[in-house]
């Protein structure tokens, strides 16, 4: 049975590339306007899975995704890392020297700044990368180009004028698949959770010692403001391993005793 997979953006968004990497090209795509819409689609059974970006190698963590992971009772099912490579695309027959205006998501435009400065065109931020490509195709806008993915050019019948126009080729985004389902235990698992430390001296030090004393490798530790109490923080943690094993069960039991709040977000295979 084909899985319905929700993602944010129009068809051809980089999130759709992540869907294909995780679930294959036979997945049934469900584009959503917002990240919250992706979570809601999974929660309300409109989709079996959702795919959302969680971190970019240049811009850092995507805070909205972390807040939604805390707010919704869904599991992280899998992760994928995708190289983000931008293309300049326009209607068939257009030439590079005829491009006067370029549309795309602000982050994509910033990532291609060096190329776009040399192009000398007017830069107009848009809703998203694929949405800009769709707009040019539907409105038949001559003299205009979009910065988007190779997939977007194929979907909307646009011609690629230049490939790999990003300033830094080491531009990667990590995506998470979310679901009501839990991922089965494997050989290369990681676990994500969020906790709040008690407001006492040394609380965070003691909690980190829970993992250090058991030689559990933390691959991420990041604080975010609590949405319920001003000037208090929650901590997002990734560690190598699966709670199905006794040593990780012990660590989580002790964490629940020492922390003010703990929520397991999911255990899933580490991305290659």
Q: What is the pLDDT along the chain (272 residues), one digit of tens a residue?
A: 689 999 999 999 999 999 999 999 999 999 999 999 999 999 999 999 999 999 998 888 999 999 999 999 999 999 999 999 999 999 999 999 999 999 999 999 999 999 999 999 999 998 889 999 999 999 999 999 999 999 999 999 999 999 999 999 999 999 999 999 999 998 899 999 999 998 888 999 999 999 999 999 999 999 998 877 776 789 999 999 999 999 999 999 999 999 999 999 999 999 97
pTM of this prediction?
0.92
Whether 20 and 152 map to the same domain: the answer is no
Q: Strand 87-90 and strand 159-162: pairing? A: antiparallel
Domain count, the chain: 3
**Residues belonging to the active site:** 173, 175
Residue 57, class by beta-carbon neighbours within 10 Å (0-12 exposed, 13-18 middle, 19+ buried)?
middle
| Domain ranges, residue 224 | 189-269
Whether 49 and 111 map to the same domain: the answer is no
Residue indicated by tokens 């291609």: 112
Output phi, psi for 182, to 5 deg.
Answer: -100, 145
Whether 123 and 220 map to the same domain: the answer is no
CATH of the domain at 214: 3.30.70.260
Whether 66 and 128 map to the same domain: the answer is no
C-alpha 87/C-alpha 108 separation (Å) is 10
C-alpha 186/C-alpha 196 separation (Å) is 28
Whether 91 and 218 map to the same domain: the answer is no
Whether 94 and 64 map to the same domain: the answer is no
Whether 108 and 221 map to the same domain: the answer is no
Residue 184 lies in a domain: no
Residue 43 lies in a domain: yes
């Amino acid at each position: 049975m084909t899985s319905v997979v929700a993602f944010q953006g129009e068809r051809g968004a980089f999130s759709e590339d992540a869907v294909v990497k995780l679930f294959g090209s036979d997945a049934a795509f469900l584009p959503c306007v917002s990240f919250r819409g992706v979570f809601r689609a999974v929660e309300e059974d409109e989709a079996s899975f959702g795919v959302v970006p969680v971190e970019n190698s240049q811009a850092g963590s995507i805070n909205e995704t972390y807040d939604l992971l805390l707010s919704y009772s869904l599991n992280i099912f899998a992760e994928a890392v995708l190289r983000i490579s931008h293309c300049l695309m326009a209607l068939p027959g257009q030439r590079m020297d005829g491009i006067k205006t370029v549309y795309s998501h602000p982050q994509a435009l910033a990532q291609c700044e060096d190329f776009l400065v040399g192009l000398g065109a007017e830069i107009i931020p848009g809703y998203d990368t694929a949405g800009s490509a769709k707009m040019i195709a539907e409105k038949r806008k001559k003299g205009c180009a979009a910065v988007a993915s190779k997939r977007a050019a194929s979907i909307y019948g646009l011609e690629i004028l230049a490939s790999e126009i990003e300033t830094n080729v080491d531009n990667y985004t990590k995506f998470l698949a979310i679901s009501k389902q839990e991922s089965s235990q494997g050989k290369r698992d990681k676990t994500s959770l969020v906790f709040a430390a008690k407001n006492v001296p040394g609380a965070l030090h003691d909690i980190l010692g829970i993992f250090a004393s058991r030689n559990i490798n933390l691959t991420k530790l990041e604080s975010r403001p609590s949405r319920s109490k001003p000037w208090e923080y929650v901590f997002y943690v990734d560690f190598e391993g699966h709670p199905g094993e006794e040593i990780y069960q012990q660590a989580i039991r002790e964490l629940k005793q020492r922390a003010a709040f703990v929520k397991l977000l999911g255990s899933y295979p580490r991305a290659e």
